[in-house]
Amino acid sequence: MSRTYLKKADLTAASGADDVRDTVQSILNDIEARGDTGALDYAAKFDRYEGNIKLTTAEIEAAAALVPEKLKQDIQVAHANVRRFAEAQMATMQDIEVEVVPGLIAGQKSIPVRTAGCYIPGGRYSHIASAIMTVTTASVAGCENIIACSPPRPGVGIAPAIIYAAHICGANSILALGGVQGVAAMAFGLFDLPKADILVGPGNQFVAEAKRILFGRVGIDMFAGPTDSLILADKTADAAIVEADLVGQAEHGYNSPVWLVTDNKALAERVLELVPGLIADLPELNGKNAEAAWRDYAEVIVCDTREEMAATSDDYAPEHLTVQAEDLDWWLGRLKCYGSLFLGEETTVAFGDKASGTNHVLPTSGAAKYTGGLSVHKYMKIVTWQRATREGAKPVAEATARISRLEGMEGHARTADIRLAKYFPDEDFDLTAAM
């Protein structure tokens, strides 16, 4: 397979990552031991915030009053789209039952977790959309308790638009806490809230590490790294749109990889020419993030065929995958590894990030090889049940007894023996280990 790198990254998403595990573990241990007091101390230290942590109804209403009406309408549009798509996903989850053999019925039920903890970033950028994505899906799934948690601004509190979005999307409680202390508060059930059964939502490396450490005690949506995006483009692609989409994702952060894969060298070269100018035109913070991401992490790859392009994309397994090429149906059928797919020039990752309906909490760092993104399914437990008549239990009990004895698990075997003896006292069974 031929892959020519016109631009090769000097770094990867894992390069230079600080070892934060010990720090995060220490904070989690301290907060678990000291409870609310510990969380408040870290809020004062890291968030530089000493206001009310658990927002009251009056505080939520006051925040909503600060949100411009036009922004409220935009949030409502995004919420409606995300909810509509989540409801369609929910409809795909069916409770079933099947008669495996005559007299033996097995079934499946989908049960939502009771309490969802939704982390909503609010540091560099106010992630209004993350409130919509996480809280709405938890609400549609049917979670009894939905806790939204977002970092407060020093001396100010959570951005009013985040509060408004979390509230209208269905949050039962909103916490003004950031980072590890916010994750800990939800996981440990602080501030008179129930313990979260699952933690979801994006965050920085400290939030991601806290979720990683807590996984097992609670569920999580996925292990997260820096956001990443890949564009597949052929000769029909518009270089200006390609560069805009690359830069638009690079502004996430200094370590956010973006990749262009194409079979058209002229397009690749034109994009390389255009990108620096667009980055320079961004606001200062956005430009600094995009410049570093493009310089250190971006790659531009030229392949000989579209099949090679698709194979390259699958190897990278990007969080966001955009196709700006002919024959979109071919790409939809061929591509196997991505968090979310954006087909054609008319859509873009930012649509999915903000308002189109699909979820923006997605697998990063190659995790799309084995998992999808956040959906109503992440909040659901798929459980099974069974019941049987005595006749239906008969062949299963015989097989169970013999298999158990072959495994050396005599106690298991006897739970089958006793039923056969009770239900069929006049019959003899060969329940010895089958060899």
d(CA 391, CA 398) in angstroms, rounded, equals 12
Q: Which amino acid is at 329?
A: D
Q: Concatenate the DSSP letters of all residues of 352-386 into one string.
A: HHHTSSS------TTGGGT-----GGGGEEEEEEE
Marked catalytic residue, from 127, 252, 320, 360: 320
Please answer whether residues 326 and 233 qualify as being in contact, where contact means their C-beta atoms are separated by less than 8 angstroms. Answer: no
Secondary structure (H, E, C), 168-232 = HHCCCEEEECCHHHHHHHHHHCCCCCCCCCEEECCCCHHHHHHHHHHECCEEECCCCCCCCEEEE
Marked catalytic residue, from 61, 319, 345, 377: 319
d(CA 200, CA 106) in angstroms, rounded, equals 31
Residue at token pair 């309408």: 73
Please answer whether residues 286 and 329 qualify as being in contact, where contact means their C-beta atoms are separated by less than 8 angstroms. Answer: no
Verify whether residue 320 is a known catalytic residue. Answer: yes
- Nearest to residue 221, comparing CAs of 232, 229, 211? 211
Beta-bridge partner residues of 384: 108
Phi and psi at 90, nearest 5°, equal -60, -35
- Alpha helices in 35-159, H assignment, sequence order: 36-42, 57-66, 69-91, 128-141
d(CA 10, CA 96) in angstroms, rounded, equals 51
User: Is the four-CA dihedral 131, 355, 250, 319 of positive or negative sign?
Assistant: positive
d(CA 150, CA 203) in angstroms, rounded, equals 10
Active centre residues (catalytic): 319-320
